[in-house]
Amino acid sequence: MLEDILTWSCIYSYTIASILLLSGFVFNKEKLLKIASYIVVPAFAAHTVIFVMRWAATGYFPANSEFENAITGGWFAIGFTVYLFIKNRALTGVALFTVPASLLLLGYGVMKSPDPLPLAASLKSSWLVIHVLFAQLAFGAYAIASGMGLLYVLKDRRMSRDRMSMFYKKIPRLEVIEENMFRFVVYGFIADAIMIVAGAIWAKDLWGNYWGWDPVEVWSLISWLLYGLSIHLKVTLGWKGRRLAWLMIFLLITVIITYWGIDIVVENTRHIFGVTSMPDLMQ
């Protein structure tokens, strides 16, 4: 009951905040952005309560259904945003990306399966917590890097025109955005590596092999390697500026394919992120 109320409050708050952020951005109204942050911060507190309540009620890390994945994933994304907001107000532009994304996630999760389910035997492992936690961290960090890439491109485009609005003036210098973008890429890359390794060690116990060339495994490797490539492009070949920003925006696609695309398109993956209520214990 309380969970329902909190979930719907979160959804409404994120909806309003998304609208405000978008309007503030498009019409250059600082005030709207400010109001949005006053909404996001308490909504995040409610979100935290849902997350903790779920964990306490089921006794396991919330990652057992689309709903729980949405709660957890959204929590990390908004958590990052709030953290950035506290550290440097001007960076709230990232919220334009993470708030609507979390809203969509939550909406999708609520639609699918909000009731807690008993944890299937195959998911009872401490590796699960590590694996999922780092997957969420990686996703959150990559998403923010991508958001910063977007900010970079937008500001860069504005700067090449004549007049800059207050909003763009408030966003940090391009160089700073770029460095922060790279910081999040690095963060995501390390978390991603830990996620893959933890997954491999877990797979050995559950399926008997470290690596099974499952579509989800292959795609997570591809996206990790591409992020690795992007690090090479910056560190060794000196890529920077708009080119690097676009790269970071596009690389997020590979992550999205890994997290959602495969589940939708491929049938024979051993990674099912939704419910696991199958009579055959291993499915």
Partner 1 sequence: MFDNEELYVLWKDSSIISRVMDFIGFTDIYMSPLTIVLLILFFINLLVVTLNRVPVMLKRAYLTGELPSFAAAQLKQGKNVAVIASETDGAGLDERLKDFFKEKRWFFREGRGPATYIAVRNRLSPIGFLLFHFSFFLCLIGGLMITYTRFSGNLPLTEGQSFQGDVQQFRVITRDPKIFKRLSPLELYVERVQPVYDREVPTELVVGLQAKFGDDIQRTTLRINEPLHRGAMSVIVERIGVSPLFIVRGPSGKQIDAAYVSLNVLGGQEDVFQFDSDRRYSFNVKFFPDYVKEDGYESTRSIEMKNPAIRLVVGKDTKIIYSGTIRLGESADLGPFTVSFNDIRYWVEFLIVREYGKIPLIAGFIIAGIGLIMRLVFYQKRLRIAIEYEKDKPLLYLDGRSEYFKYSFEDEMAKLVEELEKFLTGKRKG
* Residue 113 C-beta: closest distance to partner 1, Å: 12
Judged by CB under 6 A, does residue 236 bind ligand HEM? yes
Q: Strands (DSSP E) along 120-275, which ranges?
A: none
Contacted entry of ligand HEM, partner 1, none for residue 122, CB cut-off 5 to 8 Å set by kind: partner 1
DSSP 8-state assignment for residue 228: H
Helix, strand or coil, per DSSP, at residue 253: helix
Judged by CB under 8 A, does residue 226 bind partner 1? no
Judged by CB under 6 A, does residue 222 bind ligand HEM? no
Contacted entry of partner 1, ligand HEM, none for residue 225, CB cut-off 5 to 8 Å set by kind: ligand HEM
Judged by CB under 8 A, does residue 239 bind partner 1? no
- Residue 113 near residue 65, CB atoms below 8 Å: yes
- Dist. CA 181–CA 230, nearest whole Å: 12
* Residue 246 C-beta: closest distance to partner 1, Å: 19
- Span 193-212, contacts to partner 1 by CB under 8 A: 193-194, 197, 200-202, 204-211
- Dist. CA 158–CA 160, nearest whole Å: 5
Contacted entry of ligand HEM, partner 1, none for residue 119, CB cut-off 5 to 8 Å set by kind: partner 1
* Residue 189 C-beta: closest distance to ligand HEM, Å: 6
Contacted entry of ligand HEM, partner 1, none for residue 175, CB cut-off 5 to 8 Å set by kind: partner 1
- Dist. CA 271–CA 259, nearest whole Å: 10
- Dist. CA 180–CA 188, nearest whole Å: 12
Considering only CA atoms, which of 212, 246, 247, 211 is closest in space to residue 232? Answer: 247
Judged by CB under 8 A, does residue 88 bind partner 1? no
